[in-house]
Amino acid sequence: MVDEPDTPRPDGGDSADGDDATPFVHAPVMAELIVDLLRDVPDGLYVDATLGGGGHAEAVLDAHPGLRLLGLDRDDAAIAAASARLARFGDRVRIVRSGFEDLERIVNETLASDRTDQPDQTGSASAADETRGVSAVLFDLGVSSPQLDEAERGFSYRSGAPLDMRMDRRQAFSAVDVVNEYSFPQLARVIETYGEERFGGRIARAIVDARPIQNTAHLAEVVRAAIPAAARRSGGHPAKRTFQAIRMEVNRELDQLAEALDGAISVLAPGGRMVVMSYHSLEDRMVKQAMRDAETGGCTCPQGLPCVCGAEPTVRLLKRGAWKATEEEVAANRRAESVRIRAAERLIPESA
């Protein structure tokens, strides 16, 4: 079942574009590890906050028959692909077209609906109510391979295409607005912050001077020319960081992630787990901090001394640091090369 929220999206817009000619085929990164991390969660609702083509969701549902899926995604092409891929699971699957910043609200509405529609034989609360939350939440952040491969989406610097980069094509704001309308200070801030690009100021000035920039090929050439020749000889395509930064600005990725992480932790049932796959250092730092805050309860006491501030931890970390892909996993799926995976489990209250 696929739902679209009745309320307007914050990054809203009109209707979605038509059918895509390119099939949305996306190989899930490190699916075996994700399945292992979620294998022991309690039966109940599993939230895939970045559903994509449904690869991780399919693996988890196959491995854990006691889980039902609530899948979220902003991309119409991804939803179509996931709906087809997961159709065999029937009513174990519900898909909502939404960004993950609305995760907490959508989860609470889903659990409330479950309690109404599926009371047990005694008329008491459903299993979802008894566990007081969801069994698992998975985030697979960043842009997917099909989005990069479909030239007309404008995510890639490797082919000429409209300056788009919208994950949700209902929103009006796109890369063309960032590239051609942002002031020099705004553009430099975006490139330096989100792209962690040391030549952000030079690139921003070159973009402003070259306006109007019509397509991704033009943008990539402007960026390449702005970077000193010596710096272009290593580190991959010279426009990679700038394109990444503009994409993150268009889709408000970091702003939405901060809200979503807190919401995900709050809706976890005791014993439920949150797993986050990051591909960008800024994202990974945000994930690490959110989990650290939950692990300590936001304790402000000096490190090494007993806590006297009354902070109460809500999760335990499943690993100090992050899981990274092995050489074999990178060989099987190149996208795994930069992934960092962190996971936390909601604590069971001492009074339970």
> Does the pLDDT of residue 24 top 70, yes or no?
no
Residue type (1 letter), 195: G
Which CA distances in Å does 111 have to 83, 94, 119? 21, 12, 12
220-252, pLDDT tens digit by residue? Answer: 999 999 999 998 888 788 999 999 999 999 999
Mean pLDDT estimate for the chain = 87
Looking at residue 128, what is its pLDDT?
39
- Mean pLDDT for 140-167 is 82
Higher per-residue pLDDT: 48 or 19: 48
Q: Which two tokens stand for residue 163?
A: 């300056």
pTM value?
0.86
In DSSP terms, which residues pair with 134 in a beta bridge?
Answer: 268
> Does the pLDDT of residue 42 top 80, yes or no?
yes
Percentage of the chain lying above the pLDDT 70 cut: 86
Q: How far apart are the first and last CA of the chain?
A: 35
Going by C-alpha positions, the residue among 220, 178, 184 that lies closest to residue 202 is: 184
SS3 annotation, the chain: CEECCCCCCCCCCCCCCCCCCCCCCCCCCCHHHHHHHHCCCCCEEEEECCCCCCHHHHHHHHHCCCEEEEEEECCHHHHHHHHHHCHHHHHHEEEEECCHHHHHHHHHHHHHHHHHHCCCCCCCCCHHHHHCCEEEEEEECCCCHHHHHCHHHCCCCCCCCECCCCCCCCCCCCHHHHHHHCCHHHHHHHHHHHCCCCCHHHHHHHHHHHCCCCEHHHHHHHHHHHCCHHHHHCCCCCCHHHHHHHHHHHCCHHHHHHHHHHHHHHHEEEEEEEEEEECCHHHHHHHHHHHHHHHHCCCCCCCCCCCCCCCCCCEEECCCCCECCCHHHHHHCHHHHHCEEEEEEECCCCCC
- Mean pLDDT for 208-224 is 96
Looking at residue 113, what is its pLDDT?
87
Higher per-residue pLDDT: 101 or 8: 101
277-314, pLDDT tens digit by residue? Answer: 999 999 999 999 999 999 998 887 887 777 878 788 99
Looking at residue 129, what is its pLDDT?
42
